[in-house]
Amino acid sequence: MRSLPFVVVTLIATPALAADSTWLLCKGIAEVGKPATKVHLAISAFEHRDPTTGADRGLDVTILRGSHVSRAMIKKLETGKPIKFSAKPIAGSVPIAGKLTLSIDMTKLTITGTLDKDPLTATFTCETLDDLAIGH
């Protein structure tokens, strides 16, 4: 009788490669300055597993106002709780800093802080973007 080779394949899931992330598009109107002026802002937020620890959650935030872009990376995100952040300006944009809260169900994001040096308060509604829904 001929013997057949026996092969064992082991798949190892690493936390950094886990497919448990969420991409959000958030939009709303911020009140900036004194007296307050209404300003439209949009936020692309990517909630994901922190690749360095594998256990914590992170949030990459891109804040858009026209052609102005500011970015922040938040580590140890806890939904439903305010967390300090500082969004660095990209290519001549203005810094945004303060406290950001992402609701537990990830449908609302609030920011209180400053846009450049002016006071800022904003509430955004968030929509989950699903690449599978567009055939990818």
Q: Which of 109, 56, 55, 50 lies closest to 85, judged by CA?
A: 109
| pLDDT attached to residue 83 | 92
Per-position pLDDT tens, the chain of length 136: 444 434 333 333 333 334 678 899 999 999 999 999 999 999 999 988 877 777 888 899 999 988 889 999 988 888 999 999 999 888 778 889 999 999 999 999 999 999 888 999 999 999 998 755 454 4
- pLDDT recorded at residue 136: 44
> How confident is the model at residue 132, as a pLDDT?
52
- DSSP single-letter state for residue 116: T
Peptide bond into 35 cis (omega under 30): yes
H/E run at residue 84 = strand 83-90
Query: What pLDDT does 84 receive?
Result: 93
